[in-house]
Chains A and B, each alone.
Chain A
Amino acid sequence: EPEVTQTPSHQVTQMGQEVILRCVPISNHLYFYWYRQILGQKVEFLVSFYNNEISEKSEIFDDQFSVERPDGSNFTLKIRSTKLEDSAMYFCASSERTGHRAYEQYFGPGTRLTVT
């Protein structure tokens, strides 16, 4: 069964450093998403991406964040200057966004980001 993959599984970085989290969505999916989950808290939507541009974003997704689909398979989330409060599990998801399974999002296993 196809699945969303994410690398690395755990990233440790120092405050102020840039990080790039990588995702490979399911190959025939058209919509891509990033979410984060701070330890012990709710899942929070960050951004959705379609047709090489951001389609929706939340107030969390400020200028420190950016997303990119650099090639036909990868989808990345960049945090320019990490802060301690960016420490969280980051989940990538993808969906077909067509037909009766339009919003069925498949989540990756997550990347745990630890900012020290």
Chain B
Amino acid sequence: GESVGLHLPTLSVQEGDNSIINCAYSNSASDYFIWYKQESGKGPQFIIDIRSNMDKRQGQRVTVLLNKTVKHLSLQIAATQPGDSAVYFCAERMKGDYGQNFVFGPGTRLSVLP
């Protein structure tokens, strides 16, 4: 049958502005989270991770915030550049029926405007 593709939310930002990408995760027992970047035709690329015992973690130009109360994760990119244009998605590590699983979100497309 025909597969229905996801309609990805799109975030458009001006070059140099800060970007905030959000993700709602599903399982309050998830203990570890990762943000990935995926450029067209390429595999996912690790950006930053955070464990559930933290609420903030900073990397180079990126910050991840974790709000366990509302099961929300955000990725902040400072001074967004054209090379940041990609699909960004979060992944949570949760216990499935067969062990620990990484469950990925659908993603947000970031478009950087010149």
Contacts and interface: CB of A to CB of B under 8 A. Distances in A.
A27 interface: no
Interface stretch (B9-17, B75-83, B99-107): B99-107
B98 to A, nearest CB: 5
Interface stretch (A14-22, A56-64, A70-78): A56-64
B96 interface: yes
B98 A108 contact: no
How many interface residues does chain B have, given as a range? Answer: 20 to 34
A57 B3 CA distance: 24
Given A107-B43, A108-B43, A42 B98 contact: no
A42 B105 contact: yes
A100 to B, nearest CB: 10
Where chain B touches its partner, the secondary structure class is: strand
Interface residues of A, number: 26
A104 B46 contact: yes
Nearest to A109: B43
A107 B103 CA distance: 16
Contacts of B42: 109-110
Nearest to A91: B43
A43 B102 CA distance: 10
A108 to B, nearest CB: 6
A56 to B, nearest CB: 3
Q: Which of B38, B43, B99 has the most CB of A within 10 A?
A: B43
Interface of B: 3-6, 32, 34, 36, 38, 42-46, 49, 89, 91, 93, 96-107
